[in-house]
Chain A
Amino acid sequence: MAKLDLDPALVARARELARRAGQPVVDLARSHTTVSVERAVLRLAGVTGADPDGIPWVNRLVDAVVDEVGLEHGVALPVFDALAREGLTAADLTLLAQKAAAGSVRFAVPTGKEATAARKLSTRATGAGLRMIDKRRAERDRLVKRFGDPAQRPWIYLIVATGDIYEDIPQAQAAARAGADVIAVIRSTGQSLLDYVPEGPTREGFAGTYATQENFRLMRAALDESSRELRRYVRLTNYASGLCMPEMATLAGLERLDMMLNDSMYGILFRDINPIRTFVDQRFSRQVHARAGIIINTGEDNYLTTADAVDEAHTVTVSQLLNEFFAHEAGLADWQLGLGHAFEINPDVPESFRLELAHALLARELFPDAPLKWMPPTKHMTGDVFRGNLLDGFFNLAGTMTGQGILLVGMMTEAVVTPWLSDRDIALQNVRYVLGAAGGLHEDFVPAPGGFIQQRANQVLASAVTLLEKIEGDTLLKAIADGTFGIMKRPPDRGKGLSGVAAHADDYFNPATSLLESAA
């Protein structure tokens, strides 16, 4: 390693600034809850299914509790107290939700003996959910041991999304056979803004397939079949983002998904989701991912699709450092940090490939033990599929030269059509050629001391430190409110999902968080 001659003191300073900028946000997350965190707790405790209109029982139950006693105490105690009073057991939680929706159950915040009993019952029930997640993780470890990891790095990550889970399955299996190591099922447009998780298998979506627990289960089972056939464990990815981040993480853990998109600021900046809602949801979801052994993928590539990839390269580094801090704080290990970055420099810029190498190598050296998610060009894909294929080849080459961990396969028909069967085949052929021809090139690739690449990497790091100083002085929430990231101003008292946020009351109790934090 150490190909860039980075100043270790500057690297340490960048990390320290990220910690100082992030800590107030962690404090905020620790002292607030959201409707989605509470729904995730109930999912862990075993509430399943949805009413005839498709609204999940966890939503109905949380709404009923919030109507009567508010969100600030957490729903665990009121729910388990009501359960005991109704003479029901934890196995009847869904029944309780149905009764609550019909208005036939009253909720109160228990005190004294009743509170102790509810605490014990809810801890036992959510503990069972976490044990199921542990079981899934052990199952993955077993399958990886039996079938093995991909022979090469980077792992080849391919997107499938028809809107119909039963169409997605054969496409995903075909992609795995053609060489994909990781399958991502893109979600239906706008799912991130739904304040509930749809139920059941789904056959219709907008430019993607709804993420539901049943769709997760179906696809994981199909890829287990493929893993057996191919003697290589094929991983499955979905999205823990948007308004239901904690629940998505929980369902992913319960259904043994292997990776989840999970960025600390993406929802705030790109979806106008309330910043506090996002940070609270994100911390819980990352704690669940940590427990479930899931690799998160962060979304830094998005910055470069909206801003200039040369001028704004340092914002990627800043976001990676913040994502790393938040991830470590939530208990994720380095091997679980698929920090994102992208090949988005305008190919007409002189030396664009050397600049890409500098940026990619900087990420590699700053986060030596993180897998790193390398994202293909999208912004400068014009519909000229021939040039696009060449650009993707250079993207693949930069990926292997700089030792990236997860390579999202670029499509020459980006911005033209959703990938055709032949597009995917050509794209995978491109990846196979580059990895086959130059798979070990990262060993030989050492930039000249003091040369263009080293200089550029050091310059980006220095700009990142300057920006982090500004954010730390200003506080992260204010920086987000002022439009420091991208051009969007996102104040903490605005944005979607704000009404589902509450500061903890003194008697706030969340059995899942208690268990997750005591195990860490």
Chain B
Amino acid sequence: MSDIVRPYGDTTGDGMVQLSFTLPLAHDKRAEGAALQLAAKMGMDPAMLVHSKQMGDGFTFFVVYGRVNHLVDVSKVEVVERDYPLLSAKEVNTAVKRGLRRKLSVVGACIGTDAHTVGIDAILNVKGIAGEKGLEYYRELKVTNLGAQVTVPELVAAAQRERADAVLVSQVVTQRDAHLHNTREMSAAFREALPADRRPLLVVGGPRFDETMAGELGVDRIFGRGTTPGEVASYLVHALVAA
């Protein structure tokens, strides 16, 4: 079979695609022409304007069907693989139950003077973020959310008390690199307080972290902007639960 494919409408190789978009123009002949011009520039030839409708003042919605000439070479597709599989809540729960035979204990906090709990709450609260539930929602995860402005010694004590498998720290404030200092202080404190085999997995997150700096900061994983609870839960399973 050939590695070269084209979009499929109703005949092999017809190259047909559908496209919808809005232009900031009132609906008239010129707007329709503008929509066709856009479709042509996107490589649709011929392009059929099948629907156009004005919305409010000065916007028009278009649906265009048409042929594109582009060829897709499947042999040249590159996919960046995540280094752990993304699991559903159910899969996370099952994996923890089977692999750990107890609940996985997670302790989360904002450390230092950082009062921005937006990040840690988005990951931990049942409410979650963008329609995805937080870690509290996972039946097999035991979540302790210490909230904001937690000191490093308090965090270490709580992690020991809760027998934390993982510690999640969120850092939003980055003035004078506070997030980096705080993270180094935190990882050093855990190294001091606990032998390596009993140390919880250390995970930090925040919008200004460089995800490649984990080793330098002494933590196991860094999550950047836009991380979802599901990604964190999947990572915890990957790192902590023997398959």
Binding site for B on A (CB under 8 A): 174, 177-178, 189-190, 193, 206-207, 269-272, 305-306, 378-379, 414-415, 420-422, 425-426, 486-488, 496
Contact = CB atoms under 8 A, between A and B. Distances in A.
Contacts of A190: 116-118, 121-122
Contact of A422 (B22, B122, B126): B22
12 contacts: A174-B57, A189-B129, A207-B129, A271-B121, A271-B125, A272-B145, A421-B55, A422-B21, A425-B55, A425-B56, A426-B61, A496-B147
Contact of B131 (A177, A415, A426, A496): A415
Contact of B126 (A178, A269, A420): A269
A488 B147 contact: no
Nearest to A426: B61
B126 A488 contact: yes
Contacts of A189: 118, 122, 129
Contact of B130 (A270, A415, A420, A487): A415
A420 B22 CA distance: 9
A415 B133 CA distance: 12
Most buried by B among A272, A414, A426: A272
B55 A306 contact: no
B133 A178 contact: no
A269 to B, nearest CB: 7
Counting contact residues on chain B (CB < 8 A from A), the size range is: 20 to 34
A193 B117 contact: yes
A346 B137 CA distance: 19
Nearest to A429: B53
B136 interface: yes
A78 to B, nearest CB: 28
Contacts of A487: 137, 139
Interface of B: 20-22, 53, 55-57, 59, 61, 116-118, 121-122, 125-127, 129-131, 133, 136-137, 139, 145, 147
Most buried by B among A174, A207, A270, A414: A270
Contacts, number: 59
A459 B105 CA distance: 38
Contacts of B56: 174, 177-178, 421, 425
A306 B126 contact: yes
B54 to A, nearest CB: 9
Most buried by A among B22, B56, B116, B117: B56
Nearest to A486: B126
Contacts of B20: 422
A425 B60 CA distance: 11
A422 B63 CA distance: 11
Contact of B22 (A206, A421, A488): A421
Contact of A425 (B57, B61, B139, B147): B61
B130 A422 contact: no
Nearest to A188: B118
A487 B55 CA distance: 44
A110 B199 CA distance: 55
B38 to A, nearest CB: 15
Contacts of A272: 125, 136, 145
Contact of A270 (B21, B125, B131): B125
B61 A306 contact: no
Contacts of A425: 53, 55-56, 61
